[in-house]
A = this chain, B = another copy of it.
Amino acid sequence: MSENTPVTVIVGGVAGGMSAATRLRRLDEERQIIVVERGEHVSFANCGLPYHVSGTIASRGSLLLQTPAALAQRFRLDVRVQTEAVAIDRAARTITLRDVATGTETSQRFDTLVLSPGATPNTPAALAGDARVHTLRDVADLDRIMESLAATVEDAPLQNAVVLGGGYIGVELAENLVARGLSVTIVQRGPQLLSPLDAEMAAPFADHVLESGVALRLGVEVTGGDAESLTLSDGSVLPADLVFSAIGVRPASGLAAESGLALGPHGGILVDELHRTSDPAIFAVGDVAEKTDAATGEPRLLPLAGLANRHGRAVADTIAGTATPSPRALGTAIVGFRGLTAASTGWNERELRAQGRSVRVMHSHPLSHAGYYPGAQMLSIKLIVDPASDRILGAQAVGRDGVDKRIDVIATAMSAGLSASALADLELAYAPQYGSAKDPVNLLGYLNRNRAAGTDATLQWHELEAALDSGAFLLDVRAPGQLAEGLIPGATHIPVEQLRERHHELPAGRIVVHCRVGQGAHTAARLLRNLGHDVVNLDGGYLTWRDAQRSHAIRDNSPVSTPTPEGATR
């Protein structure tokens, strides 16, 4: 290698860093490519780590996707594990690398530098120095967890595990700890699980988590603990043999900051659409870098593996001279828990309202495939639209089957700038075991068109109380057999089939009509409007209302109570 051979140093040898390294080698055989990784392993399956805890992924080795030797052989990469980047001299274009084992430091020249060190998991200050507290970011973390679990099994039959944080990682940890037979409690500072979802969407997921035996403690945080327990902010005490901290991560941007690179508003490295930092010779990708949000155009932290991998590859293209700007990020994510799936893309209603944006919101509860074909499962889907532009701002879905497909289709539509109404016309693959002739995504498009055209006017679950207080009349048009599921207090029941004959029984003034999922009520609302009534449809019907009630009940740790069918119908 001559002295003039260009050198790219990549800090971080997992998702973003390794994508950059291998792609760069494919584009450029001559360049010297050095990958430094502080840990012992490169290119491991971060997202698979929780599943080894339960043995779902039985072999630890299967999480190690590459070795430095294999990467040297196939891609001629100079991969240095247990090597830390400790200083960057931007003027001299050198980086100081420290051998973690020996402490020896060397200076390495670079032409381009890619920073992909990831993020550092947060741990609660109240438990500083507590040896029970685990995080799970890398293979070393996993090894420590497996060791603790093995040790506890020998010492005691029952183990109490507390997972701090009810986000995607916390839920995945809880799933795998339960599968291992531990007694698990999730402690979540916020009022709900899975904060990317809105409360009423997270509720059925939380119910499922509760049904599997996991305890939820919402709205509290850890304030301290002794050897066998944790104390929470409400004064309660929780037995705790093992503690897992999954309360978010912070970008590992210390080295970048010390080197004078610009950071974004959330502490991540600020980059442009080519992932260039404020120094054009230095790039940053993955959890350390802030992403540009597709809806707001603002920087945002989105620690997602997909973005890290794709952005790493994009950086290689840019370094090799074929710059491809990355599009702005939506933030699509998915989580499973014992057969139930929740996924989201874009922003949720809570966040958008907090931003002061006006939103058009639709809830639906379609079947995953044609109802007459066995195995159809109910989905709950929420679509959030900018009413001015008809642009899709976000979507959420929960269910046992077909959640990933619908969120992927909507995320694709969002990436492409399709309007919400255009979802109605998508030609999705239909046979009865896969979908419906009008797929759930098509139905969202129809709901949106009806709303945009004024064909349907709706009320959200959180607007119901105020409407009733203002004297609106609540009309339940479900089939009589559906009432056993529960009732919304104060509703009068007239099945949709009887409305033409009985609509004169309705009072003047506003009528809020609801059915089970919103579809029958749409028919009823259209009928009543055509007959001269002032009517709005309760969006998502009884099921969305019930899910919202459940979210409150779960938060308040008390069962929801609704009147029994007897006595409330007429």
Contact = CB atoms under 8 A, between A and B. Distances in A.
A107 interface: no
A427 interface: yes
B405 A427 contact: no
B306 A15 contact: no
B74 A427 contact: no
Contact of A333 (B51, B429, B522): B429
Given A29-B527, A422-B415, A430 B372 contact: no
A417 B415 contact: no
A96 interface: no
In this complex, the member of A73, A427, A531 whose beta carbon has the largest number of chain B beta carbons within 10 angstroms is: A427
Interface in A417-465: 417-418, 422, 424-435, 437-439, 442, 446, 449, 453, 455
Kindly report how many copies of this chain are found in the complex they form together. 2
Given A418-B416, A429-B343, A310 B27 contact: no
Interface in A125-139: none
A523 interface: yes
A341 B307 contact: no
A503 to B, nearest CB: 11
Contacts of A437: 15, 47, 305-306, 308-310
A438 B45 CA distance: 13
Nearest to A417: B416
Contact of A47 (B331, B417, B432): B432
Contacts of A500: 76
Given A51-B432, A411-B427, A45 B310 contact: no
Contact of A372 (B62, B172, B455): B62
Contacts of A430: 47, 304-306, 332-334
Given A416-B412, A496-B74, A309 B438 contact: yes
Interface string A152-182: 0000000000000000100010000000000
Contacts of A28: 530
A432 B497 contact: no
Nearest to A335: B431
A428 B442 contact: no
A158 B413 CA distance: 51
Contacts of A51: 373, 432
B411 A426 contact: yes
Nearest to A527: B29
A326 B422 CA distance: 10
A106 interface: no
A526 B305 CA distance: 26
Given A306-B438, A430-B305, A48 B416 contact: no
Interface in A525-559: 526-527, 530-531
Contact of A57 (B374, B404, B455): B374
A154 B267 CA distance: 77
A426 B404 contact: no
A345 interface: yes
Given A430-B306, A496-B74, A327 B425 contact: yes
A88 to B, nearest CB: 27
Contacts of A455: 26-27, 322
Interface string A61-81: 011010000100111100000
A330 B430 CA distance: 13
A143 interface: no
A438 B309 CA distance: 7
Contact of A418 (B306, B409, B415, B449): B415
B330 A370 contact: no
Interface string A341-380: 1010100000000000000000000000010111000000
Given A334-B434, A409-B412, A429-B332, A424 B374 contact: no
Contact of A429 (B19, B372, B407, B526): B407
Contacts of A45: 370, 372, 432
A442 B411 CA distance: 13
In this complex, the member of A63, A310, A313 whose beta carbon has the largest number of chain B beta carbons within 10 angstroms is: A310
- Give the top 3 A-B pairs by smallest Cβ distance, nearest first: A416-B416, A29-B530, A334-B429
21 contacts: A22-B523, A26-B527, A29-B527, A47-B432, A74-B496, A74-B523, A168-B431, A306-B428, A306-B442, A307-B427, A308-B437, A309-B437, A310-B442, A313-B438, A333-B431, A334-B430, A334-B434, A341-B434, A404-B434, A411-B427, A416-B418
